[in-house]
Amino acid sequence: MTDWKLPWNADCMCGRVRMRVTQSPLVAMACHCRGCQKLTGGAYSLSLMLPTAGFEIEGETEIGALHRPEQPYVFCAWCKNWLYTSGIAGGQFVNMRPTLLDDASWVVPFVESYTSEKLPGVVSGAKHAYAQFPPPEDYPKLIEAFAREGARPA
Ligand SMILES: [Zn+2]
Ligand SMILES: [Zn+2]
């Protein structure tokens, strides 16, 4: 598919960290787990899984949240906005927060995880739901389906 209208620009709340996406996302996800609820202060987190090679970042960042060395949560050093999680699949991918995109109006999660911890009344719009994370063997078909059917910029 070539209709992603790349590149996309993004920034944090204060604008000190700028990001640029130059390659198509693999999947858009919502996570309802308790950790995401606490980290975002919202009902769930949104993630866009991107090839690390297609993700550029400029500005001062720092590691926060659980300080996991293998999959660090990366924040703006000044406004502390959660930007992305790196180290996905051994560093091949990053999970970026798509709400930071200059145009986030098209973003709809395709898969939702941890519906076992979902708050009552919350509807994410995802087509595929999992009680926890999808098992690794489901990712290839989810990624293939997202390439065909996933929401993209208008
Ligand atoms: Zn989560
Ligand atoms: Zn900032």
What pLDDT, in 10s, does the model give residues 57-78?
A: 999 999 999 999 999 999 999 9
Compute, in angstroms, the gap from residue 36 CA to the centroid of ligand 1.
4
* Cβ-contact 50, 26 below 8 angstroms: yes
How many Å apart are CA 154 and CA 59, to the nearest integer?
A: 29
C-alpha distance across the termini of the chain, in Å:
14
Give the global pTM.
0.94
- The alpha carbon of residue 20 and the mean position of all alpha carbons in its chain are separated, in whole angstroms, by 14
Question: What SS3 class is residue 55?
Answer: strand
Compute, in angstroms, the gap from residue 61 CA to the centroid of ligand 2.
9
The tens digit of pLDDT for each residue in 75-92 reads 999 999 999 999 998 999
- Ligand approaching nearest to the C-alpha of 57: 2
Nearest in space to 43 (alpha carbons), one of 143, 126, 139: 126
Compute, in angstroms, the gap from residue 145 CA to the centroid of ligand 2.
34
Compute, in angstroms, the gap from residue 105 CA to the centroid of ligand 2.
21
